Structure 1
Amino acid sequence: MGLKSDRVVVVTGASRGAGKGIALALGATGAKVYVTGRTRTEGESPLPGTVYATADEITRRGGTGIPVVVDHSDDEQVRALFEQVADENGGRLDILVNNVLTVPDALTAKGPFWEKPLSLVDLFDVGMRSTYVATYHAGPLLAANGEGLVVNTSSFGGSCYMHGPAYGAGKAAVDKMAHDMAVDFRPFGVAVVSIWMGLLKTERTMAAFAANPGAYEGLAATAETPEFTGRVVDALARDPELAKRSGQVLVGAEIAAELGVTDVDGNTPPSHRPFLGDPPTFSDAVVD
């Protein structure tokens, strides 16, 4: 995709957190960025941020931010989102970032999964299933474009035990989707990757840091800003070797080091591979 400054991008789940940071970083390249989320006004969520505030900040940074209120558990709303993108851009879409994820309050509670609320399976819907549905509707636009990039945001929880089996299954699923979607997209010049992010300085995480600073002192020093992954996505989209990476699970910090990407503060966050484990390696076999 070269050095395009007029990319058309969709980032799901961008009212706050990783999605907001990714959207801001891509918007700063001059892209038109569609940001989705459910939060219309401050106060609707216990955490700050709205789709409109994210879109406004994108525009202030030199891009074009377009807010679209979407509940990603509603397939019809997702279909309408990509119909809007197609209608407003002559059928064009360059980058899709599948980031939206339900984060139940009990996700990080201690104890075995059967002692936690069954509602943790909600992240199979908005997280795992929503990744499939969004890419399903984006697929024809990307394929017609003849090039493009799909990114599934993920984490080391796809490999190691992290927050229990519901979270782990959801992340492992989007990792495998990236591999399998890449097979179908390959003839159309579209790459698909899953990016393992590190600990992020999101609104939720920063609140936890403030509530218990001693417990997070070491982790806070190496945490990534939410915009870091967006910078990595931008670099990947410009990487002449992108096609060779398609279908892989990539550690964001490692790709950043390889492509010369730094965080907003100029630091290079470390990879957590040494103590959280390796990304999966999938078979090259294709059974139609």
Structure 2
Amino acid sequence: MGNVVVVTGATRGLGRGAAREFGAQGATVVATGRNEDDLAAVAGEITERGGKAVPITCNHSDDAAVEAAFQQIEGELGGIDILLNNAAAVHAAELVAPQPFWEKPLKLVDMIDVGLRSNYVASFYAAPMMVKAGKGLIASISFYGAVSYFHGPAYGAAKAGTDKMMADMAIDLAPYGVAAISYWPGFVLTDAVRAMPKEILPPGIQENLPNWETPEFTARVINALYSDANLMKQSGQALIGAEYAECQGISDVDGKQPISYRKTMGSPHIPFSSVRGQPS
């Protein structure tokens, strides 16, 4: 029997590709999202690839809805092996605009709510099931923007906060055999990016698209990490997916080896733990 994997925000972007790849690996994939039609489409993609799909309509800005979703998961599936926190309120057009933050819409701060805060809430409801089972992995999507300027302070705060939050969750979860990591993908060739006419892409991006990793790659890395005998040694870290994949011999679905942007965009901070008494 495959793993039970919950992917929040699974109707688009990285989450959608990860959900279908977890399905290809034989998992039971719980896909959450706000739009029922999009969820039905994702469920079809998961099923087509050999997985079992459990679509759950859920607005991750509503704590009660999140609680109900995890109660449903526990009731129907009994527990969770992997939680991939991917849901985020990303207003893409405004986010990437070149203006300073005070000249952009205030709604950009929403990603601290649906993003950083919603990761906490989903983890809050997933953790007791994992603790009870004595195993599990909570992975939250972050990015190099946690340590370098990328799209402004709302984005940076959400990602830096995610890194610290997962490091602290890892300390609480360690005695129970449950791991928590912050996961850094590279630039991701999502379905939306793939569908864009090449001529409208900004200069430089079109040429680099072949180097961008697929959204499925994240699921490959997370699945391998969960099966890694050294999983608990990785817990608490901000993990660059491309670097872990290279060490483990994991390639993308198209056969390429995705690249790390450590040298050009920064590297994860190593949090110091007063509980462990040493860098984690």
Task: Provide TM-score, normalisation by structure 2.
Answer: 0.95
Number of aligned positions between the proteins: 274
2:4 to 2, 8, 12: 8
2:259 pairs with 1:270: yes
Gaps spanning 5+ residues in structure 2: where? none
Match of 1:93 in 2: 80
Deviates more, 1:215-224 or 1:27-36: 215-224
2:136 pairs with 1:148: yes
Gaps spanning 5+ residues in structure 1: where? 42-49
* Counterpart residue identity of residue 26, structure 1: F
Match of 1:44 in 2: none
Distance 1:205 1:171 in 2: 22
2:223 pairs with 1:234: yes
Distance 1:117 1:14 in 2: 25
1:125 to 98, 113, 123: 113
- What secondary structure does 2:95 align onto? coil
* Counterpart residue identity of residue 74, structure 1: D
- What secondary structure does 1:106 align onto? helix
Distance 1:132 1:124 in 2: 11
**Mapped contact 1:209–1:220 kept (Cα < 8 A):** no
Measure how far apart 1:209 and its partner are. 6.1
Match of 1:39 in 2: 35
Q: Deviations over 1:32-66 (max 9, x none)?
A: 1100011223xxxxxxxx11111111111111011
Moved over 4 A (4+): none
* Counterpart residue identity of residue 35, structure 2: T
- What secondary structure does 2:137 align onto? strand
Q: Deviations over 1:212-265 (max 9, x none)?
A: 264413321210101011100011011111110000001010011011110010
Distance 2:69 2:186 in 1: 29
RMSD of aligned Cα (Å): 1.4
Distance 1:70 1:280 in 2: 32
Distance 1:113 1:273 in 2: 25
Mapping of 1:177-256 within 5 angstroms?
Answer: 177-207=165-195, 210=198, 211-212=200-201, 214-256=203-245
**Mapped contact 1:209–1:216 kept (Cα < 8 A):** no
Distance 1:152 1:118 in 2: 24
- What secondary structure does 1:219 align onto? helix
Mapping of 1:13-162 within 5 angstroms?
Answer: 13-41=9-37, 50-90=38-78, 92-104=79-91, 105-162=93-150
Q: Percent identity?
A: 48
Q: CA 1:279 to 1:209, structure 2 compared with 1: closer, same or farther past 3 Å? A: farther
* Counterpart residue identity of residue 263, structure 2: P
* Counterpart residue identity of residue 174, structure 2: R
* Counterpart residue identity of residue 88, structure 1: E
